[in-house]
Chains A and B, each alone.
Chain A
């Protein structure tokens, strides 16, 4: 008989269940399979009612984030071979309401993301005839790491402050704000500061560092937030010493 592996999946049906409960499945074990392959096997062959999000299967779209054995992970990026001989426990991402099974309600994340104005705000509109904005390799390197975020929300699931204070803007959104603040083509730092430098922004972060540990794209939101704390403090001091010169 060929080798198998057991999955315990948290199920929740909003129409019939009062609370979530685990359901066990046994799937074929294959060295090259990831947890998402196992879920697809369940959906296609064992239980078509299982709900979960996924799209690209290559750690690019950021849709398939789940809690796998107590660790926020992309299920397309988590191999069965790392759990061989054990049980794989799959749950929805922590700190988000459960819509159904492994599907979470992400509205709060989308609101937080848009609140930090994650787009270039140029100092002044230039006509096309003036040509492109030039940027040196060094200027690009200053923020390039933060452009890698795929909005998978693993950092929100890992951050205890997100769980303890639902208003906290959170790691990914603050990292993205930092990415645009660092961009030499951008002049929107003051416009973002209203949210970024508020109590629910960077100051809610206590540098647990879990966001950076779980990030599948090595974005390091914890670093972005600490750097923003320093620049926001410098802004505050400048404002205090020369009230009219800034903003």
Chain B
């Protein structure tokens, strides 16, 4: 009974509070999202990975750092190694679980830093116009002109190897597309009549940008970020593979592939299994992003 009334409350035509109105909008988005099977698959994979990362200590069968050289390069399923062991006799399954933490940590940090930077630069450029727009957008163009991994490599080389620096380097290379999107969205809104109306109410540029333009840019940014997550993970894995991301013995997936590279012909699982994990998380983010776009795209007309 309570579920039925909750549903009615959420779908009410006349929300009685702002909270209810907002929850109702979210719920309607969720209903649309739920009908997209592939997006739900992506979400499930992602939830599964997040749970794995959260409960890694409970799920792991071995310590991810303990070496056992006598049991090195065991194939999957043998001697209690669910997914085999690597060249130092560490359990790949346990390392994979702890590696999920690192990947999600990187993704989360980049997803917080890069879009924020892009949002600020893009909306200011778009709203201010004139020479500020020209200067900010040319800087954006310069950043866009570099291949992403190479630029990240340069930053890491300058800052020193490590996860935090990898995050910083990836963020510094990932913001330009967000700035472009935010600027484009701002340009469509800056001459909208509701912005004129708000100006007449005495709002200054800062309030217009932060209170009115940012919320409107958010949905397209969220979609873009979700679709970019796969790229962020791949860049992070690439940096790890090149030895510039997480440092050994940390179980970062890219670094694990890098270690397995030497044995790829005789002991395929060492490189393949972390590769599959990267594939799964990238695919999940792409599916999720596509689904979110269908729900949130302002051009879709649902909201």
Q: Do A and B bind each other?
A: no
A residues with a Cβ closer than 8 A to B are none
B residues with a Cβ closer than 8 A to A are none
